[in-house]
Chain A
Amino acid sequence: MDRKKHRIMMVSDFFYPNFGGVENHIYYLSQCLLKLGHKVVVVTHAYGNRSGVRYMTGGLKVYYVPWRPFVMQNSFPTLFPSLPIIRTILIRERITIVHGHQAFSTLCHEALMHSRTMGYRVVFTDHSLYGFSDAGSIHMNKVLQFTLADVSQAICVSHTSKENTVLRSGLPPEKVFVIPNAVDTAMFKPAVVQPSHSEIVIVVISRLVYRKGADLLVEVIPDVCRLHPNVRFIVGGDGPKRVRLEEMREKHSLQDRVEMLGAVPHAQVRSVLISGHIFLNSSLTEAFCIAILEAASCGLLTVSTRVGGVPEVLPDDMIILAEPDPGDMVLAIERAISMLPKVDPQVMHNRMRELYNWHDVAKRTEIVYDRALKCPNQNLLERLSRYLYCGVWAGKLFFLVMIVDFLFWRLLELWQPAEDIEEIPDLTLPHISNKETLQETE
């Protein structure tokens, strides 16, 4: 069955050289899609001096559009002025599908809006969970309703995330696909020589912020150290709550039992993980936790809070869940310590290779793209009426925004016709045979 090859544009504010869940997802997914024979182009904003067109491994072309990040790595929301550059990239690269990532990214919303105006098929992936009651979430959900009013298909990274997205945006559930993230098991291998079990090491690597449960750590670590004299903690990561952890260390005199590493660069995460036996994740909300996958791939037993999509991530014998309550977490850690002798890191790593695979994610995403292309391309008036359902006042506002966008596009077609924009030939790399490793070389 010869599948049609797509030409995909991934667009998001979050990409390399930043490291994080969304960035890694886009990078690995793009690499696997390139291996499958599709063409992938990534569009993001400029990072410092890094502006213009760059090529990454496998011929992945990245457009660092010269806009400065405005707040929290997002570019400034300009609404209409981004239409010319997006249109130029879409025509130059002969794109067939536009894939936006992360509801928090303004560039993603703008690019999806312009792509829809120009009639391209649009897919959106949501990576986070949001609430419904605070002011920030209410506005974010309205913007999401606008973007998803006319999207071809949507992808969520876990079933809980699908429920959340469907409630926030009002999409029919059949339009939302659940395709989880995966982990590069070739990079996260367990240690060749296992650390001995005489001293049990618990590893924590996360940003030390409220959302990631740093306050729970402050309560849990002293209790565990008191109950189990042979347990040691390694805490990697930095953030506003680091001060509280240092204070806890001083107050209970745990300087030799709790090691604070500070911010750990992504390349060194594996070496920190393989020095431990148990991985502790205390976040208060997670759509999908890639850190848990990395830990399991390195052969660590995971203890985590039962929040969001975490219960769906690993089978029950590789993870121990606890309520986000210090007493319950201490009990869960005790159970993990007692389960530790039965855990074989290499067996766990081999299981992870079967359970999570980026190539599988790419194949499932390909099915979504095929489905998106089959969607009927309705004419403008039918599509515009969908925006009116977004709300009494907001619907009319969105309607007007789309009309202005359409008129601006028509003006651009007259002023800068599509025939004048040269289509660039594809870059063909010499074929790299049978290489499975996905290293980032720059």
Chain B
Amino acid sequence: MDHHLASDSPQVRPRWRKVAYGGMQPGFDDNHTDESFLEGMVMNANVVRRDMLKVMLDSVSISEYLCIVALVVLVWTYTLESTIDENRLLCIDVSLLVLGFLILLFTQEKISLSILVHHYFLNISFFIMGLYVLAPIYQTLTRSISSDSIWALTVSLLVIHLFLHDYSESTVNAPGALKNPALTSCISVNASVVASVFIASRLPSRLHVFAIMLFSLQVFLFGPLVTYCIKKYSFRLHLCFSISLMVVTLSFVYMLHCLLFVLLLSLLVFVNVVCPYWLIRIQEYKFEINGPWDEAKLCFAITD
């Protein structure tokens, strides 16, 4: 049998064993709690210890993106007020495109000029042509909707876009990477595109529409790629670029409206200073429990 026989020493009861068979263990109640209770438990095995300075430096990329979106909204506002006319807008578009290409060329050492031409340039030309052809559709899209609804929708879509944007840059890939983007990053890209379409539909002429759509889509679709390349190339360059971008954005917003400037400044301070401090404060409460009761993780990938 599986129990120790009590015939060897009647006073000493057999040791308690962590088994379920054999009925009640002699000498022990069913609610007996052994010293080995919870000895398989592991606490906080995968927790990362964070350093305040590193978290603040990492949060710079979030505020960089916030400033980029603020600049886009600024350009939209100026265009809607007719402060910028369509020719200047087209110049901005072209210069942004050229700047983006130069940065890509500069920061990606493996990319030669021929790959750049074939892969990026061709695709972008098709993209621009398609946008130009479809511009009349955007112009008349929201003619029956009132302006107030458009502004409200655009603001909510931009908030959704900022909320769900993938700041870890796992979706941005150089040609050849194989990564499936998460659902939330797809939703955020769609929200930004729809917001651009709404704004573009409020503009008077076809060229206006084309220019503003090109500008918005350039920034929203290719902006993350460019900032990712800068960050990968050199962290100091990334830091300088972000800080100069923040300064430029703040000064332009100040020229536009004082209250918005205060809002943007407080938002940037919140993201860069308050949130890292808060995160490190609440990390102390983290309590991760692992043990033999966990569901086993498969060590191979399931390929369907």
Contacts and interface: CB of A to CB of B under 8 A. Distances in A.
B289 interface: yes
B289 A312 contact: no
Interface stretch (B18-26, B89-97, B125-133, B217-225): B18-26
B144 to A, nearest CB: 42
A159 B294 contact: no
B33 A364 contact: no
Given A174-B33, A177-B30, A354-B1, A129 B293 contact: yes
Contacts of B31: 173-178
Contacts of B33: 173-174
Nearest to A312: B20
Contacts of A132: 288-289
A158 interface: yes
A167 B18 contact: no
Nearest to A309: B20
A313 B22 CA distance: 10
B182 interface: no
The 3 A-B residue pairs with the shortest CB-CB distance in the complex, in nearest-first order: A180-B20, A324-B296, A285-B295
Contacts of A325: 299
Interface string B218-255: 00000000000000000000000000000000000000
Given A163-B37, A173-B37, A355-B22, A131 B295 contact: yes
Contacts of B23: 355, 357, 360, 364
A178 B21 contact: no
B300 interface: yes
Given A131-B293, A163-B38, A308-B292, 9 more contacts: A133-B288, A159-B20, A161-B293, A167-B291, A173-B37, A211-B295, A284-B296, A307-B296, A368-B30
Contacts of A285: 293-296
Contacts of A354: 1, 22
A309 to B, nearest CB: 7
B150 to A, nearest CB: 36
A160 interface: yes
A359 B302 CA distance: 44
The secondary structure that dominates the B interface is: loop
B51 interface: no
Contacts of A178: 20, 30-31
A166 to B, nearest CB: 8
A159 B21 contact: no
Contacts of B293: 129, 131, 160-161, 163-164, 285, 308
Contacts, number: 95
B284 interface: no
Nearest to B23: A360
B8 interface: no
B183 interface: no
A314 B30 contact: no
A298 to B, nearest CB: 17
Interface in A279-294: 284-285, 288
Q: Which among B288, B296, B304 has the highest number of chain A CB atoms within 10 Å? A: B296
Contacts of B178: none
A356 B300 contact: no
A305 interface: yes
B2 interface: yes
Contacts of B292: 160, 163, 307-308
Contacts of A367: 30
A319 B300 CA distance: 25
Nearest to B24: A364
A110 interface: no
B276 to A, nearest CB: 24
Contacts of B29: 177
B40 interface: yes
B48 interface: no
Given A176-B31, A315-B21, A163 B291 contact: yes
Contacts of A356: 21
Contacts of B2: 315, 355
Contacts of B30: 177-179, 364, 367-368
A216 interface: yes
B298 interface: yes
Given A177-B30, A324-B296, A244 B304 contact: yes
A284 B302 contact: no
A335 B22 CA distance: 25
A367 B289 CA distance: 32
A312 B54 CA distance: 47
Nearest to A357: B23
A166 B38 CA distance: 10
A93 interface: no
A139 B22 CA distance: 36
A215 interface: yes
Contacts of A180: 20-21
A367 B31 CA distance: 11
A197 to B, nearest CB: 27
Contacts of A161: 293
A313 B18 CA distance: 10
10 contacts: A131-B295, A132-B288, A163-B37, A173-B33, A177-B29, A244-B304, A284-B295, A285-B295, A307-B296, A355-B22
A109 to B, nearest CB: 21
A163 B41 contact: yes
Interface string A328-342: 000000000000000
A197 B291 CA distance: 40
Nearest to A178: B30
Contacts of A167: 38, 41, 289, 291
